[in-house]
């Protein structure tokens, strides 16, 4: 859900003006990559945006989860561009639709469900409009986030757009043996 990608960054040094439309020209072939590791071709989180009716986007976030090394989940939500920022409404119910797309060998269904529920800490802004402005910083972007127009104080994160053909994937946590969903556990 873009809400996770919107929970980003009070940046240090970046361009003085944010992009006017952070999703201009973006197709589903492009993914927003958090903390790109170029040599490993991995991201901590990847988000795609597909235009739907009413000027909105269906956002799909795939992210690594702490607690169970190698666990990667997928969460879908709605996003839109407003006043030059990428926005969405923070909704805990988006977690109900979350699904595991990579798991740790030997992880139980209960452990996986608990890992998804651990994301609830990200929702102190339940029901609020969360928006992020994209500030260019070389090939990357730094984002500033607000909830109902008030700044969110979160860790500084760096994002970049990567193309699906570039071979980037969501990284599992170090040392985990992971298996893509649909293969034997």
Residue 30 confidence (pLDDT): 96
CATH number for the domain formed by residue range(s) 2-165: 2.40.128
Residue 13 confidence (pLDDT): 42
Residue found by looking up tokens 């201009």 in the block: 24
Residue 8 confidence (pLDDT): 36
Residue 155 confidence (pLDDT): 61
| Residue 35 buriedness (CB in 10 A; 0-12 / 13-18 / 19+) | middle
Q: Which of 73, 79, 74, 75 is nearest to 58 (CA)?
A: 79
Residue 161 confidence (pLDDT): 95
Residue 108, both tokens: 């139980």
Q: Tens digit of pLDDT for each residue in 74-126?
A: 889 999 999 999 999 887 777 777 777 776 666 777 877 777 777 766 666 67
Buried b (16+ CB within 10 A) or exposed e, 120-136: eebbebeebbbbbbbbe
pTM (2 d.p.)? 0.77
Give the pLDDT of the chain (185 residues) as one tens digit per residue: 344 444 433 333 445 788 889 999 899 999 999 989 899 888 888 999 999 998 899 999 988 876 555 678 888 999 999 999 999 988 777 777 777 777 666 677 787 777 777 776 666 667 889 899 999 998 999 988 888 988 887 666 789 999 999 999 887 644 444 555 444 43
Residue 146, both tokens: 């607000």
Residue 20, both tokens: 């006017």
Judge whether 97 and 76 are in contact, CB under 8 Å. Answer: yes
Buried b (16+ CB within 10 A) or exposed e, 74-104: bbbbbbbbeeebbbbbbbeebbeebebebbb
Residue 91 confidence (pLDDT): 78
């Amino acid at each position: 859900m873009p809400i996770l990608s919107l929970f980003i960054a009070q940046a240090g040094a970046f361009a003085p003006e944010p992009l006017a439309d952070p999703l201009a020209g973006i197709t589903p072939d492009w993914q927003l990559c958090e903390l790109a590791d170029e040599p490993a071709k991995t991201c901590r989180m990847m988000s795609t945006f597909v235009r739907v009716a009413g000027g909105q986007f269906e956002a799909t976030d795939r992210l690594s989860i702490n607690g169970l090394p190698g666990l990667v989940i997928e969460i879908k939500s709605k996003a839109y561009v407003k006043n030059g920022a990428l926005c969405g409404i923070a909704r805990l119910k988006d977690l109900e639709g979350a699904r595991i797309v990579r798991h740790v060998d030997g992880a139980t269904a209960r452990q996986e469900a608990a890992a998804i529920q651990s994301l609830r800490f990200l929702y102190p802004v339940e029901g609020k409009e969360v928006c992020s402005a994209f500030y260019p910083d070389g090939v990357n972007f730094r984002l500033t986030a607000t909830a109902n127009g008030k700044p969110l104080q979160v860790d500084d994160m760096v994002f970049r757009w990567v193309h699906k053909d570039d071979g980037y994937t969501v990284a599992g946590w170090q040392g985990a043996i992971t298996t893509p969903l649909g293969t034997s556990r």
